[in-house]
């Protein structure tokens, strides 16, 4: 029986591997080991480890790795700390394969540690093109990995062009799509009832009958010095849409998130946004978030959710800045720069357009099962990789 050790560090990467974990857990020839670390353990990001436990997963190890400061220096130190701690955990668990998700700085620590300990690395979502430091981390993880699970055929082809053995590269679609397609379809009223009951803890609740914008803006680490200006431009643009409610998630914990959070707090206290139209939410459970994305007038920001998932509902998206540059997307996505007027124009255009035809670019909902079946049956390649030049 092969032992698959999956490591998750935040709400975003967990949604990208959840169905993989389920499939590993129920496969007769696989044993799941689960390591939970990073922002899952932090109050400021919603203590999402509790949601993992509620889903019935047994957590084998937890790991605190976040160095305070929220800047490029502390983010880099966090990677180093994670490598130190993960080496002990992998030595104790002795997995056959380590599942490394996506392209974040925490993922780099997972891949480096496993590869240097002569453990086979299975990487998801390689071969994609985006902006920020994630672009470099993603391709570095491809070169550290032995098994590759791409989300699109174009991505699979890029991985092979990078010198990886074709027999180890699979297009299984995105596991996040699995969750998307099986989520119960809720009408807007029911979605807001659950949001107000399960998530919004303050007295003022959202009105289920009013239209709304869904906003997710994360820092771009390679543009660290411009982060404050970028979020101000977005918030100034949102002030022009006073007729709509605004649901905004806190940013992830990349370098610069604290700057974004401080500016958001200022705007909610001292500007016209200081009313019950906008609330900042630490975390929204998956079923509720999917349906919020289904019903919103427009998803605004730079999250990959706008690129990968929103197209399955035809939801209009305004993608801001460089974070998702080059990533495959549907016709429902309009790009805007870090400029108030450009953002206003793009949001207005998307609201006026309304729903787009559904496009399914990132799989058919079977990625988790495909992953488990492949990991259970494939002859593991030699730990010393052979790269085609």
Which domain CATH number covers 309?
Answer: 3.40.50.2000
Average pLDDT in the 72-80 region?
A: 94
Tell whether 181 is covered by a domain. Answer: no
Question: Within the chain, where are the H helices?
Answer: 11-15, 18-26, 49-54, 72-93, 105-116, 134-144, 153-161, 175-182, 188-198, 227-238, 257-270, 286-295, 305-308, 340-353, 367-377
Average pLDDT, the chain: 92
Residue range 260-310, pLDDT digits in tens: 888 877 777 656 665 556 778 888 998 999 999 999 999 999 999 999 999
Task: Answer yes or no: is pLDDT of 258 > 90.
Answer: no
Average pLDDT in the 358-381 region?
A: 96
Residue range 96-109, pLDDT digits in tens: 999 999 999 999 99
Q: Which two tokens stand for residue 388?
A: 């085609």
Angle, vertex CA 150, rays to CA 56 and CA 178, nearest 5: 40
Same domain, 264 and 243: yes
Burial of 184 (0-12, 13-18, 19+ CB in 10 A): exposed
Q: How far is CA 370 from CA 57, 182, 298, in A?
A: 20, 16, 33
Number of domains making up the chain: 2
Tell whether 388 is covered by a domain. Answer: no
Average pLDDT in the 225-245 region?
A: 89
Same domain, 367 and 349: no
Q: Which two tokens stand for residue 28?
A: 């007769």
Domain interval for residue 81: 2-174+363-377
Same domain, 201 and 120: no
Angle, vertex CA 28, rays to CA 26 and CA 34, nearest 5: 50
Q: Which two tokens stand for residue 336?
A: 């805007």
Same domain, 170 and 62: yes
DSSP lists the bridge partners of residue 222 as none
Confidence (pLDDT) at 70: 80
The DSSP secondary-structure symbol of 106 reads H
Percent of the chain with pLDDT over 90: 75
Tell whether 386 is covered by a domain. Answer: no
> For residue 316, which of 281, 275, 278, 355 has the smallest C-alpha distance?
355
Confidence (pLDDT) at 263: 81
Same domain, 169 and 195: no
Tell whether 327 is covered by a domain. Answer: yes
Same domain, 255 and 332: yes
Q: How far is CA 382 from CA 112, 147, 165, 379, in A?
A: 17, 11, 12, 9
């Amino acid at each position: 029986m092969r032992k698959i050790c999956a490591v998750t560090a935040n709400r975003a990467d967990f949604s990208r591997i959840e169905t993989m974990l389920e499939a590993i857990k129920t496969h007769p020839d696989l044993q799941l080991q689960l390591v939970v670390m990073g922002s899952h353990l932090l109050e400021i990001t919603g203590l999402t480890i509790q949601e993992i436990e509620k889903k019935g997963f047994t957590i084998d190890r937890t790991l605190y790795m976040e160095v305070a400061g929220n800047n490029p220096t502390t983010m880099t130190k966090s990677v180093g700390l994670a490598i130190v701690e993960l080496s002990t955990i992998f030595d104790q668990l002795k997995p056959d394969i380590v599942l490394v998700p996506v392209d974040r700085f925490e993922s780099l620590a997972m891949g480096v540690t496993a590869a240097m300990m002569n453990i086979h690395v299975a990487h998801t979502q390689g071969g994609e093109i985006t902006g920020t430091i994630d672009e470099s981390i993603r391709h570095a993880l491809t070169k550290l990995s032995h098994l590759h699970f791409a989300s699109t055929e174009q991505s699979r082809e890029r991985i092979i062009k990078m010198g990886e053995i074709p027999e180890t590269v699979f297009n299984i679609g995105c596991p996040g799509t699995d969750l998307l397609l099986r989520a119960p379809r809720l009408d807007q009223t029911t979605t807001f009832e659950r949001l107000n009951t399960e998530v919004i803890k303050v007295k003022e609740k959202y009105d289920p009958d009013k239209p709304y914008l869904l906003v997710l803006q994360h820092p771009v680490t390679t543009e660290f010095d411009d982060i404050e200006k970028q979020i101000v431009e977005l918030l100034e643009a949102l002030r022009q849409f006073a007729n709509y409610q605004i649901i905004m998630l806190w940013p992830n914990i990349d370098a610069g998130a604290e700057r974004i959070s401080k500016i958001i707090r200022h705007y909610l206290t001292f500007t016209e946004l200081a009313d019950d139209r906008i609330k900042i939410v630490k975390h929204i459970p998956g079923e509720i978030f999917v349906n919020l994305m289904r019903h919103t007038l427009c998803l605004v920001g730079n999250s990959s959710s706008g690129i990968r998932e929103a197209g399955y509902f035809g939801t209009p998206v305004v993608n801001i800045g460089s974070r998702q540059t080059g990533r495959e997307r549907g016709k429902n996505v309009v790009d805007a720069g870090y400029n108030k007027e450009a953002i206003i124009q793009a949001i207005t255009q998307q609201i006026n357009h309304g729903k787009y035809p559904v496009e399914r670019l990132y799989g058919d909902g079977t990625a988790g099962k495909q992953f488990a079946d492949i990991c259970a049956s494939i002859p593991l390649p030699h730990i010393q990789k052979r790269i085609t030049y």
